[in-house]
Amino acid sequence: MTLGLTLTDLCVNGSGGRVLVQAADLKVPPGTLLGITGASGAGKTTLLHAIAGIVPSEGSIRWGETNFSKLSDHARTAFRARNMGMVFQDFLLFDDLSAHDNARLAAMFAPRAERAEITVRAKQHLSELGLTDPERHVASYSGGERQRVALARALAADPAVVLADEPTAALDRRAADRVIHDLVAACRERGRTLIAISHDTHLLDAMDRVVHVTDGHLAAQVPA
């Protein structure tokens, strides 16, 4: 399954009525790899959080045939759990858990029938991403390894969409290039839609399209 995104007249307001993000029109066909870039504080993370339904917004967000903005909070959370894998800036890994337990976290929230499959897939992704000691606690993992655990976790539920916020930010060039390769391959192989915020030109070069956020506004779409 693959899902495209259509944003229409999206607006995110912050405290004090400040407009944080405005996007009149953005279409991301299913299977597209989209980069989002722009200056620090421009509103990229806020935009990604709105796209994921984590922060409230006005306007319309459609994922495939689903009018995401019209769903109840509960239905939106369920839709996100079923369809979106998220790789956030600070990884949000649990240090006291092993790489495998972190990667199969989605199994805790999945219907009983899908749990075993997620657990198996988590292990498989860790192995494919070169993490050969999945039972070790992630507290002792390097930055690049932690980023790959976060990626394995995002992929374990076999999501139609992957959302990533600066997935290479904390990594040296070699580790970053490996994460870019793995992320792009995981999406291309399964026709997943990828939306990734980055300043990294290597990552942006690997995308199909790149959009710029300037002072909360989405600017014209240009080829990567």
Ligand X SMILES: Nc1ncnc2c1ncn2[C@@H]1O[C@H](COP(=O)(O)OP(=O)(O)OP(=O)(O)O)[C@@H](O)[C@H]1O
Residue numbers at the binding site for ligand X (CB under 6 A): 14-15, 18, 20, 38, 40-46
Least Å distance, CB 26 to ligand X, is: 16
Least Å distance, CB 169 to ligand X, is: 9
Closer CB to ligand X, 45 or 119, in the complex = 45
Least Å distance, CB 88 to ligand X, is: 11
Closer CB to ligand X, 38 or 134, in the complex = 38
Class of residue 220 by CB neighbours under 10 A (exposed 0-12, middle 13-18, buried 19+) = exposed
Least Å distance, CB 74 to ligand X, is: 22
Query: Measured between alpha carbons, how far is 177 from 163 in angstroms, rounded to an integer?
Result: 18
Closer CB to ligand X, 90 or 133, in the complex = 90
Residue number of the CB closest to ligand X reads 14
Map residue 187 onto helix, strand or coil.
helix
Least Å distance, CB 46 to ligand X, is: 3
Map residue 146 onto helix, strand or coil.
helix
Contact between 10 and 23 (Cβ < 8 Å) = yes
Residue type, 156: A
Closer CB to ligand X, 17 or 111, in the complex = 17
CA 97, distance to chain mean position in Å, is 22
Closer CB to ligand X, 138 or 176, in the complex = 176
State the first-to-last Cα distance of the chain, in angstroms, to the nearest integer. Answer: 25
